[in-house]
Homo-oligomer: A and B are copies of this chain.
Amino acid sequence: MSGEGQYYAAKEMLAEAGLHCTEPRLAVLSVLLAAERPLSKKQISERLDERINKVTIYRILAAFCEAQIVHKAFTQGRAAYYEPGHNCGAVQCHPHFTCTSCGDTHCFLGKTLPLVKAEAGFVIQRQQVRLEGLCPDCV
């Protein structure tokens, strides 16, 4: 279940981002591309076929973020969640909804809010909107 369908897309993304194309990187990126929501390191590990050291996963994710092909989405609980940047604008991406009952996160594509107008002297580089509530399964 390591997102085989995304394998070639992943290869291209890495090349385009100027990142070395290694097995672990391909595997992690494929998993992220196959997911329809941001994933934590734990969730990524669970979806990998090969066992990849956790330090390596964190370093791969850091490299992806640096190269801007992935970004750290709004965190839920204490873990960071990662998703490919393809649905996202430079300053903000879509809101993320997390169900307080089942814990699942959903991307609210197309529900993006306007940007906050910065207070005097502040420069806003990134805006994230996080939603909590009940998903259709839990209402």
Chain B residue numbers with a CB within 8 Å of A111 are 116-117, 119
Report the stretch among A26-34, A37-45, A57-65, A121-129 that lies at the interface.
A121-129
Chain multiplicity (copies): 2
Closest chain B residue, CB of each to CB of A120: B136
| Between-chain CB contacts (< 8 Å), 17 pairs | A75-B77, A78-B80, A100-B125, A111-B117, A116-B131, A118-B133, A121-B135, A122-B134, A122-B139, A123-B134, A123-B139, A124-B131, A126-B131, A126-B132, A127-B129, A127-B131, A130-B130
Could you mark each residue 90-133 of chain A with 1 if its beta carbon is under 8 Å from any beta carbon of chain B, else 0? Answer: 00000101001000001010010110111111111111111111
Q: Count residues of chain A with CB under 8 A from any CB of chain B.
A: 35
